[in-house]
Amino acid sequence: MTGRIVCFGELLMRLTAPGREMLLQSPRLDVTFGGAEANVAVSLARFGWDAAVVSTLPDQGIGEACRGELRRHGIDTRGIQMRHGRMGLYFLTVGAMQRPSEIIYDRAGSAFAVTEAGAYDWPTLLKGAEWLHVGGITPAVSEEAEKAVVAAAEAAKAAGVKVSFDCNYRAKLWADRGGDAPAVFAKLASCADLMFGNERDIALILGADFHALPLSERFLAAAELAFKTWPGLKWLASTIRTHHDVDHQELTGRVAARDHRVHYSRTYKLNGIIDRIGGGDAFAAGLIHGLDKGWAADQAINFAAAAAALKHSVPGDANLVSVADVMSLVNEEGLDVKR
């Protein structure tokens, strides 16, 4: 067993148009459960971690099914409250060729969104945890969710629990809510040991402009500014994605540490993508795993990128591969049938 991680965020029901159809082209939707932070928890549980999810679900059949799905993956769900209300939803239309995928959110007023921040007892919920993972989607959901995630990060920092913060800026959600994303992100970044974001995220939070620099230098410049602004921050990480079309892309991982360097993974060609949703969460889980193991930055970022690449072969939000699966790709062991 590796360490214990607590992941806080909204759990969602995903409704996907079948195959490559347009939404409601035929009267059927495929149902799965997900949510960025829960995706990280599932990945890490698959890697042998003691992973817990803290959230609020509706106290009815859909909420029970979602909680049961997490339990099936070995997640500790004792921190999930069951309350009156509705389930947050998102609708996914999977793209094809030059038509991109599209997501429609329907999560306003969900049981999670309306739960008051004081309902979460963070000293108890974080007991025994080595990491807390939070994301920038949560504060975009509602004012109460914003208060709750900031309280979680501040409680973790005060308790000596390492904080992983994934910016995950969602313009649609912030536009609907009208909150101050840069101010909230700055609070979360000030608590973080590990931050997932790129130069655009740092520019958004700090009002910086990196466009005068060559493209190859912008990420390091953003990382150096982030390290200067937030003394507790140790790593800034992101992926670089190149699109050829919806089914053919390339993915590279990168992480900057306080050694004034950017460490890159090898580039993975993603041909015949099955499902790219949750790829960033798989990357986050892989890097948390590698850094917690004490691996060097080069080794950790290669593991993270390989985990993210494999997620593109797995239907649904969560990455269901094992450490052995990831290491097989890292070590280029080939594609022969495993017997």
Q: Which residues contact 201 (CB under 8 A, 6 or more apart)?
A: 167, 169, 185, 222
Asked if the model's pLDDT at residue 1 lies above 60, the reply is: no
Is position 260 within any domain?
A: yes
Average pLDDT of span 274-288: 94
Q: 135 with 187, same domain?
A: yes
Model confidence at 237, in pLDDT bands (50, 70, 90)? very high
Average pLDDT of span 165-184: 90
- Give me the pLDDT at residue 50, please: 96
CATH of the domain at 215: 3.40.1190.20
> Cα dihedral angle (266, 303, 163, 138), rounded to 10 degrees?
80
Is position 338 within any domain?
A: no
How far from 271 is each of 92, 100, 118, CA to CA, in Å? 21, 16, 46
pLDDT tens track for 301-317:
999 999 999 999 999 99
Is position 317 within any domain?
A: yes
Q: 228 with 315, same domain?
A: no
- Give me the pLDDT at residue 177, please: 85
Asked if the model's pLDDT at residue 144 lies above 70, the reply is: yes
What crossing angle do the helices spanning 181-191 and 199-206 adopt, rounded to 10°? Answer: 110
Least confident interval from 50-54, 118-122, 179-183, 284-288: 179-183
The residue out of 74, 100, 115 marking a domain boundary is 115
Q: 84 with 19, same domain?
A: yes
Model confidence at 91, in pLDDT bands (50, 70, 90)? very high
Average pLDDT of span 168-184: 89
Q: Scan for tokens 């739960």, then name that residue.
A: 115
Q: 16 with 93, same domain?
A: yes
Q: 130 with 106, same domain?
A: no
Asked if the model's pLDDT at residue 208 lies above 80, the reply is: yes
Q: 201 with 259, same domain?
A: no
pLDDT tens track for 95-131:
989 999 998 899 989 999 999 999 999 999 999 999 9
Q: 280 with 220, same domain?
A: no
The residue out of 98, 115, 132 marking a domain boundary is 115
Q: 224 with 178, same domain?
A: yes
Average pLDDT of span 34-40: 96
Asked if the model's pLDDT at residue 178 lies above 90, the reply is: no
Q: Which residue has the higher pLDDT, 173 or 4?
A: 4
Q: Which residues contact 247 (CB under 8 A, 6 or more apart)?
A: 96, 97, 271, 272, 273
β-strand 131-135 against 50-58: which pairing, if any?
unpaired
Q: 171 with 245, same domain?
A: no
Q: 193 with 289, same domain?
A: no
Q: 110 with 127, same domain?
A: no
Is position 3 within any domain?
A: no
The residue out of 115, 138, 173 marking a domain boundary is 115
In the chain, the number of structural domains is 3
Average pLDDT of span 138-152: 96
Model confidence at 191, in pLDDT bands (50, 70, 90)? very high
CATH of the domain at 30: 3.40.1190.30
The structure tokens listed for 126 are 């974080």
Alpha carbons 107 and 138: distance in angstroms, whole number: 11
Q: Show the domain range for 173.
A: 122-233
Per the CB < 8 A criterion, the answer to whether 176 and 145 are in contact is no
Average pLDDT of span 206-227: 95
Q: 62 with 94, same domain?
A: yes
Average pLDDT over all residues of the chain: 94
